[in-house]
Chain A
Amino acid sequence: MTQSVVTEAPATEADVPSTGSDPRVRWVLLAVGLVAALALPWFVYPPVAMDIVALALFAIALDILLGFTGLLSFGHAAFWGSSAYVTGLIATHYGAPFPVAVLAGAVFAMILALPIGYLSVRRSGIYFAMVTLAFAQMVYFIAYQWSGLTGGENGLQGVPRTFFGIDLVETESFYFYYAALPIILLGMWGAWRIVHSPFGRVLMAIRDNSQRARALGYEVEKYKVIAFVLSAGLTGLAGGVFAINHGFVALTELHWSTSGEVVLMTVLGGIGTLWGGILGAFLTVMLADYLASSGFQGIDLVTGSVFVLVVLLFRRGVWGTVRHRYLARRLRRATRRGAADTRE
């Protein structure tokens, strides 16, 4: 059995000193990203812009597990969807301001992730993917059967967008974007903190060699469960915002195709790169939006083909390829300079 999920990304990581990325580059990227996030609803229909950033956080949350812990969860729709439902229910029945409802949804997702994570980390590798998929399907069936609460196949309709007394109605989706963006950015910052903390380093150690991590005294299962719950919480934030944005929660949000779609976004953008998730979500949503508006039937045909092609030919993903080129060039330069130094 192969040790880690990501067979290529860590190898490239190891080629490069861990302090590889230039802090100046990082600040420039951050500034560009922020400006892009703020400018997005001017260029893209605002509800679609909201979908992009929500799905971007979803992809990043998945990448904490896939890219940094080496676990492929194929059941993250369970957390995305259940948070969407809880957010929608709280906003509908209690008229809570949407940030409060979203927070409640995320907390629910984390509570749900605790038993699922505890059971799933007992199997690793491909088994983990299958077990999480089965659990997500179980959650799907529960929501489907419990139609008194969830609306069953009709979904949960008429979710309001109240923002501390201000009713952000359908036409105000432009303002809603700016009201909800801080939640998403907070989630992304959280993901960044998790990955760059000592805790994140342990996760990467587990990904690269779990036996060694265990030998060093880290309780591998405990770290995996914590990573799983944190990832589910960030997924929940994204799912809640998504639900409020649409004013509607469909059963599809819990379906395995949603789990697959976010894996595609992560892989397309580049596993193990936080920026990749954002790029992957942007490309996927824009493509789906373009196909839908041009009247093309059968988006799955395109999604599936992209999946096959990316996995066959383009496993580093878009961002992964760019970063790999950049880092490889830096490394070449550094070694050339080093060689010149020793000659002197």
Chain B
Amino acid sequence: MNAVLQYAVQGLAAGSFYALAALGLAIIFGVLGVVNFAHGAFYMLGAVAAAVLLDLLDLSLWWSLLVVPVLMFGFGVLVERLLVQWLIRLDPLYNFLLTFGLTLVLVELVKQQYGVSGLPYRLPGPLRGRVDLAGVVLPRYQLFVLLFSVGICALVWLLMTRTRIGMIVRASTEKPELARALGINVGRWVTPVFGFGVALAGLAGVLAAPFRAITAEMGNNFAIILFAVVVIGGLGSIVGAVIAGFMVGLVEAFGQAYAPTFAQILIFVLMVLIILVRPAGLFGRKEATA
């Protein structure tokens, strides 16, 4: 029982990274119609940025959680203005290919700058060690990651459902033509939304920094699992992305615990099952068969 709970928390903590990043991916897809292949690279940049900030400026994790998303927002805006916007009216596959090329460039640049071996990361004192919750011993940092990401997801949810900006974003996601017809300038929100999605990927990267080996390649596999996450959750669905993210984290943790050889493969098996049973994803609406 104890072990099961530990795996569950570990899985949900790992799932937090997927959930946050998938949330960003889903929002970007919703408003821009762009599947951002570089999302894994942005996640990697977030982690690298946290490590570099700690190393050069001695900025602790607390500061990184604030500063890195802001930096990534700026970077996302730059990418959208310089590259993505030119292909937005074309088939989404062109932006998929564009961001794939961008991923190769970003990964290679980081590799040349910081080498292939992992960068070190040191946790601030209060987050180190373990905590005993009614007989269940859990690493403090995992609990922190879990609570923090659930908090962020809840904030984004409130932003989406309770504010005017959120309403506009949801309207542009679900019925862009109708939103335009009602006089909403959908185009104005495209750039900030892209930046926001990139910031979420960067935030996931910062949270992952003490947890994972920080290398240029860390985002590669992450991006592909992220695609499995959004296929499972339904790409158009913001709630689906978050829930599927946590689900995949759990599958990964329990897989690693009980069948380590198949841990990675299990995620894709889950995806196959979803495609067979609900081709549009758990929370996706059925797309027109085209």
Give the interface residue-count category, chain B.
35 or more
Residues from chain B with Cβ under 8 Å of A65 in the complex: none
User: A300 contacts which chain B residues (CB < 8 A)?
Assistant: 104-105, 107-108
The answer, yes or no, to whether A23 is at the interface (CB within 8 Å) is no
A239 to B273, CA, bound (A): 29
Known: A3-B290, A119-B276, A303-B104. A256 touches B264 (CB 8 A): no
- Indicate whether B288 reaches chain A with its CB closer than 8 angstroms: yes
Nearest-neighbour CB distance to chain A for B93, whole angstroms, equals: 5
Q: Any chain A CB within 8 A of the CB of B100?
A: yes
A257: chain B residues within 8 A (beta carbon): 104
B100 & A134 in contact (Cβ 8 Å cutoff):
no
Interface Cβ pair total, 8 Å cutoff:
134
Is A2 in the interface zone, CB < 8 Å from B? yes
Cα–Cα distance between A196 and B224 once the two chains are bound (Å): 35
Within 8 A of A (CB), among B259-290: 261-262, 264-265, 268-269, 271-272, 275-276, 279, 287-290
Chain B residues closer than 8 Å to A6, beta-carbon distance: 91
Per-position 1/0 for A1-13, Cβ under 8 A of B: 1111111000000
The CA of A325 and the CA of B164, in the complex, are separated in Å by 50
Asked if A137 and B268 sit within 8 Å, CB to CB, the answer is: yes
For B275, give its contact among A122, A125, A126, A315 (CB under 8 Å): A122
* Contact, CB under 8 Å: A7 / B97: no
Q: For the complex, is B207 an interface residue (Cβ under 8 Å from A)?
A: no
Contacts A124-B289, A133-B227, A210-B290: A2 and B92 contacting too (C-beta < 8 A)? Answer: yes
A151 contacts partner chain B, Cβ-Cβ < 8 Å:
no
- A249 CB, nearest partner CB in chain B, Å: 20
Would you call B290 and A125 a contact (CB within 8 A)? yes
A210-B231 contact in complex given A134-B224, A304-B101, A304-B105, C-beta closer than 8 Å? no
Does B268 lie within 8 Å of A301, measured CB to CB?
A: no
What CA separation (Å) do A210 and B92 show in the bound complex?
18
Contact A138 B109 (CB under 8 A): no
Residues of B within 8 A of A90 (CB): none
Q: Is the CB of B104 within 8 A of A211?
A: no
Residues of B contacting A129 in the complex (Cβ-Cβ under 8 angstroms): 35, 93, 96
Mark contacts of A133-163 with chain B using CB atoms, 8 A cut-off: 1 yes-contact digit, 0 otherwise.
1110110011001000000000000000000
CB-CB under 8 A for A305 and B224, given A122-B279, A129-B96:
no
Q: From B104, which residue of chain A is reached at the shortest CB distance?
A: A304
Contact present for A305 and B97 (CB under 8 Å): no
Do the beta carbons of B93 and A119 come within 8 Å of each other? no
Q: Which residues of A sit under 8 angstroms from B86, Cβ to Cβ?
A: 312
Closest to A120 in B: B275
How many whole Å from B87's CB to the nearest CB in chain A?
Answer: 7
Q: Is A174 an interface position by the 8 A CB rule?
A: no
16 A-B contact pairs sorted by A residue (CB < 8 Å) = A1-B288, A2-B90, A7-B94, A72-B93, A122-B279, A123-B275, A124-B290, A125-B92, A126-B92, A129-B35, A141-B265, A267-B97, A300-B104, A303-B101, A307-B101, A308-B98
User: Which 8 A/B pairs are nearest by Cβ-Cβ distance?
Assistant: A307-B101, A304-B104, A304-B105, A138-B268, A308-B101, A300-B108, A130-B227, A301-B108
